[in-house]
Structure 1
Amino acid sequence: MQPKTWMAAAGLAALTGCAPMDEASGPTGEGSCGADGYGSLVGAQLAAVTMPADLNARIIGPDTMVTQDYQPGRLNIVVDEDGYITRVYCG
């Protein structure tokens, strides 16, 4: 391979890493897991709420340890020490 061809190929390969990310691949808004539809639950007691069986959700209590991984399709439901929902968000 000629030096000019080799350098051009190397430069092209390096530039492919500079391509912009697809918008869909990054974290999205609160609607990506349906949190917007569950916002009315804030203030309700968790025990009195009925949710779909196939809902990808985790309940986060006051002393609950949670992972830091971001899953846009997961609904997080935060409850206080009395069992009342204080926050609903994706992640």
Structure 2
Amino acid sequence: MKHLTLENGKLFTEARVKTDGEYETFYVMIDTALPNTVLNKHKVTVSDLDAMSIGPLKVSNFQAELQELDIDGIIGLDFLLKTGAKLNFDAMTISSSRT
């Protein structure tokens, strides 16, 4: 389970992104209406990721779009569906529905 933060009506959390064997932490927005995950092209240079995780939610060999963004990234429906994400707005957490 990972904590969510509400900022200006938008949900944010930390994600760990692994490329070329190295992990980096991203502060990402969660957008259930966005079909594909998008990362800031200035923070990561490849679209094929070794892995991406948010708390217990993890996918390997994940492809994200790279765009110029004012934030680190946006987690889209593709990641949420692949991981079976469950958003709990009472507790402000994201966890797996597959436990």
> Which of these two proteins has the greater Rg computed from alpha carbons?
1
- Do Structure 1 and Structure 2 share a fold, with TM-score over 0.5? no
TM-score (norm 2): 0.22
Compare the two structures and name the one with the higher strand fraction: 2
